[in-house]
Amino acid sequence: MARVSLQILGFLGGVAAQLQYTSTKSSAVAAAAATALTLSPTSTVAGKTFDRYIQIFLENTDYSKAIADPSLAYLASQGISLTNYFAITHPSQPNYVAAVGGNTFGITDDSFQRISSSTKTVVDLLDTAGISWGIYQEHSPYTGFQANWKNQVSGADDYVRKHNPLISYDSVTSDINRLAKSKNFTQFDKDLAANKLPQWMFITPNMTNDGHDTSITVSGKWSRNFLTPLLSNPKFNIDRTLIVLTFDEGSTLGTNQIYSVLLGSAVPSAKIGTTNSTKYNHYSLIKTAELNWNLGSLGQNDVAASAFF
Ligand SMILES: *[C@@H]1O[C@H](CO)[C@@H](O)[C@H](O)[C@H]1NC(C)=O
Ligand SMILES: *[C@@H]1O[C@H](CO)[C@@H](O)[C@H](O)[C@H]1NC(C)=O
Ligand SMILES: *[C@H]1O[C@@H](CO)[C@H](O)[C@@H](O)[C@@H]1NC(C)=O
């Protein structure tokens, strides 16, 4: 019985997401927020190189411009700067999709997409291995929200579905326990304070802080201000923590080379402030988790990708 009703809920959630895609009513959102299921499971599966993995995506900036930003140059000096990292394609959405599924699955735009429930993502591998995971999307109005959300005062785009890597996969949205791990920054703060952060995380700041609707100065400052206290927070930067701060894509006219830096306690102190010119891309994000935790593979572009370690 419980299983059936959960499936119906998941289905209704999908329908609601499509209806709400263009116009989101705040009354409906408030009602749904009151009942949304939030889960914060934890686990301690030891990895080869790291035990906690945090991926953060900023928006739309070429490598040369990002590395020249003072805040991002500072962060590069605090870790290993990856000087030969390329996004997969344009525009945003297929890059996010690829970063968890190992393929763009034919998506070439930012429109509402659903990827069939038989398509696996890295969270299938993590679930099989018993590794806790969660995604934190700034200003998603409630856990498991599947539409877009505007600032209710200014009307500006705030949280957008296209920047949520897992939400287009039916294998995630049709499973209430998975949807319950698509959380926001309110929940990030709570999970951090309660020692409930998962081992695998993906973080997307909102449309202001990720630079999409602002500038590299704003996304750079946000990154430095967000990460600096976390790097010295023993609840966040626990032993063997690896953070990858990167961008979804470069500018449309560039080579799609993007800034990426490895930070956290998993970076050996002798390598702090160094560069690494191995060719990496978003499939490397998956491959790195696979090798670290012995997860096997998705059989997609993750197979041929290079891992960071
Ligand atoms: C974040 O999600 C929680 C849980 O669904 C919700 O109560 C809260 O209002 C959300 N925060 C923001 C800033 O939207
Ligand atoms: C994005 O979040 C910041 C707080 O982190 C807030 O100041 C800003 O107004 C938000 N952007 C929008 C469009 O609501
Ligand atoms: C980046 O460089 C390659 C090739 O020299 C090494 O194999 C990697 O271990 C290295 N990665 C890191 C994180 O130092």
Ranges of each domain in the chain: 7-293
Q: Rounded to whole angstroms, how far apart are CA atoms 173 and 150?
A: 21
**Using one digit for the tens of pLDDT, what is the confidence trace for 34-63?**
999 999 999 999 999 999 999 999 999 999
Residue 183 pairs in a beta bridge with 136
Q: Are 142 and 31 in contact (CB under 8 A)?
A: no
Structure confidence at residue 17 (pLDDT): 47
| CA–centroid distance, residue 35 to ligand 2 (Å) | 24
189 in catalytic set: no
**Using one digit for the tens of pLDDT, what is the confidence trace for 175-196?**
999 999 999 999 999 999 999 9
Structure confidence at residue 27 (pLDDT): 85
Question: Nearest Cα to 111, choosing from 160, 180, 50?
Answer: 160
Helix (H, G, I), strand (E, B) or coil at 49: coil
Helix (H, G, I), strand (E, B) or coil at 290: helix
Structure confidence at residue 9 (pLDDT): 40
φ, ψ (nearest 5 deg) of residue 158 = -120, -75
The angle at the Cα of 74, spanning 289 to 223, to the nearest 5 degrees, equals 60
Q: Rounded to whole angstroms, how far apart are CA atoms 214 and 229?
A: 23
Low-confidence ranges of the chain (pLDDT < 70): 1-24
> The dihedral of CA 246, 129, 104, 7: what is its sign?
negative
Atom of ligand 2 nearest to the CA of 206: 1
Q: Rounded to whole angstroms, how far apart are CA atoms 133 and 50?
A: 14
Structure confidence at residue 35 (pLDDT): 92
Q: Which ligand is nearest to the CA of 262?
A: 3
Quote the crossing angle between the two packed helices 26-35 and 2-20, to the nearest 10°: 160
Structure confidence at residue 236 (pLDDT): 98
Ligand 3 interacting residues, C-beta cut-off 6 A: 80, 262, 271, 276, 278, 308-309
Residue whose tokens read 């491959």: 287
Q: Rounded to whole angstroms, how far apart are CA atoms 183 and 187?
A: 6
Q: Are 160 and 148 in contact (CB under 8 A)?
A: yes
Q: Rounded to whole angstroms, how far apart are CA atoms 127 and 74?
A: 35
Rounded-to-10 torsion of CA 69, 75, 81, 82: -70
Topology (CATH level 3) of domain 7-293: Alkaline Phosphatase, subunit A (3.40.720)
Instruction: Say how many CA atoms lie within 13 Å of 109 toward its Cβ.
Output: 3
Helix (H, G, I), strand (E, B) or coil at 33: helix
Instruction: Say how many CA atoms lie within 13 Å of 10 toward its Cβ.
Output: 20
Residue 281 pairs in a beta bridge with 86
Question: Nearest Cα to 237, choosing from 211, 209, 262?
Answer: 262
Of the candidates 124, 213, 239, 302, the residue annotated as catalytic is 213
Structure confidence at residue 15 (pLDDT): 44
Ligand 1 interacting residues, C-beta cut-off 6 A: 33, 36, 38, 139, 141-143, 184, 186-187
